[in-house]
Amino acid sequence: MQSLGLDVLFKGSNFLRLLGGLWVAVRISLVSVAISIALGIPAGILMTSNRKVVKGIFRVYLEIVRIMPQMVLLFIVYFGTTRVFGWNLSAEVSAIIVFVFWGCAEMGDLVRGALISIPRIQYESAQALGMDAMTSFRYVILPQTVRRLIPLSINLITRMIKTTSLVMMIGIVEVLKVGQQIIEANRKTSPNAAFGIFAVVLLMYFLICWPVSRLAVYLEKRWA
């Protein structure tokens, strides 16, 4: 095992530092996901609107998110807002803003898809039972939408967790950056540490993302 540089992992507080970095990544993605879901549901409802202006605005928004690399968005929010408006956002707040900007668009699109997938007959039956638009939405459409949505949105969570590795570019020290720091600090004494440390980082991402995606599979089976 020595040759893989795993001994480096237990030098000083290295392992704790990696766990601390993992917590930073998980914290940023959890906060972002929570806000994205809260904002994404109304956004998705608006996306199904028949009004051209509303539709157009959301289409442009969605395209911006799809076109712009998250990396560029991070630089715009972290450095750009300071240059243009003089706001001094902390790196973590900037990261959360970017992830919410991205998550809200993706979540909105998922909600829109789920809403559209509810058969017309559901709307018509609710109407036939004498429900008005609000009541039928609240008691008939929304519960079915949420069931279809949960597995999809959980996939978004795992993607967000993995994308947090970009936030090192704006100075946030998360798990991958801690890994690089450990490898570099021991470059002379354990040149092979890169393999061992990256393997451990991989395992950490896996241990976080795997239960989340298993949960998605479970919910999909139960609620489909």
Partner 1 sequence: MKKTQIIATFVAAAIGTTLIGAGSVFADGTFRTLDEIKESGTINIGVFSDKSPFGYVDENGDYQGYDVYLAERLGEDLGVEINYVSTEAASRIEYLQTGKVDIILANFTVTPERAEEVDFALPYMNVALGVVSPDDAVVESLDDLGEEDQVIVISGTTAETYLVKNYPDIHLQKYDAYAEAKTALENGNAAAWANDNTEVIAFAIENEGFTVGIPSLGSADTIAPAVTKGNESLLDWLNEEIVALGEEQFFHADYEATLLDTYGADYEDTLVVEGGAVAAAETETE
User: Which chain residues interact with partner 1 by CB under 8 A?
Assistant: 11-14, 17, 56, 59-64, 66-68, 72, 75-76, 79-80, 82-84, 86, 88, 168-171, 173, 177-178, 180-185, 187-188
Taking the complex as a whole, the smallest distance from the CB of residue 62 to partner 1 amounts, in Å, to 8
Measured from the CB atom, the residue of 67 and 224 that comes closer to partner 1 is 67
Taking the complex as a whole, the smallest distance from the CB of residue 22 to partner 1 amounts, in Å, to 15
Measured from the CB atom, the residue of 11 and 162 that comes closer to partner 1 is 11
Taking the complex as a whole, the smallest distance from the CB of residue 78 to partner 1 amounts, in Å, to 8
Q: Which two tokens stand for residue 111?
A: 């909600």
Measured from the CB atom, the residue of 86 and 143 that comes closer to partner 1 is 86
Measured from the CB atom, the residue of 100 and 157 that comes closer to partner 1 is 100
Q: With the C-alpha atoms ordered 202, 206, 208, 209, is the resulting torsion angle positive or negative? A: positive
Measured from the CB atom, the residue of 5 and 151 that comes closer to partner 1 is 5
Phi-psi label, residue 131: left if phi above 0, alpha if psi -120 to 50, beta otherwise? beta
Taking the complex as a whole, the smallest distance from the CB of residue 104 to partner 1 amounts, in Å, to 15
Measured from the CB atom, the residue of 148 and 177 that comes closer to partner 1 is 177
The DSSP secondary structure of the chain, one letter per residue, reads: -GGGTHHHHTSTTHHHHHHHHHHHHHHHHHHHHHHHHHHHHHHHHHHT---HHHHHHHHHHHHHHHHS-HHHHHHIIIIIHHHHH-----HHHHHHHHHHHHHHHHHHHHHHHHHHHS-HHHHHHHHHTT--HHHHIIIIIHHHHHHHHHHHHHHHHHHHHHHGGGGGGGT---HHHHHHHHHHHTTTT-TTHHHHHHHHHHHHHHHHHHHHHHHHHHHHHHH-
Taking the complex as a whole, the smallest distance from the CB of residue 101 to partner 1 amounts, in Å, to 12
Taking the complex as a whole, the smallest distance from the CB of residue 183 to partner 1 amounts, in Å, to 7
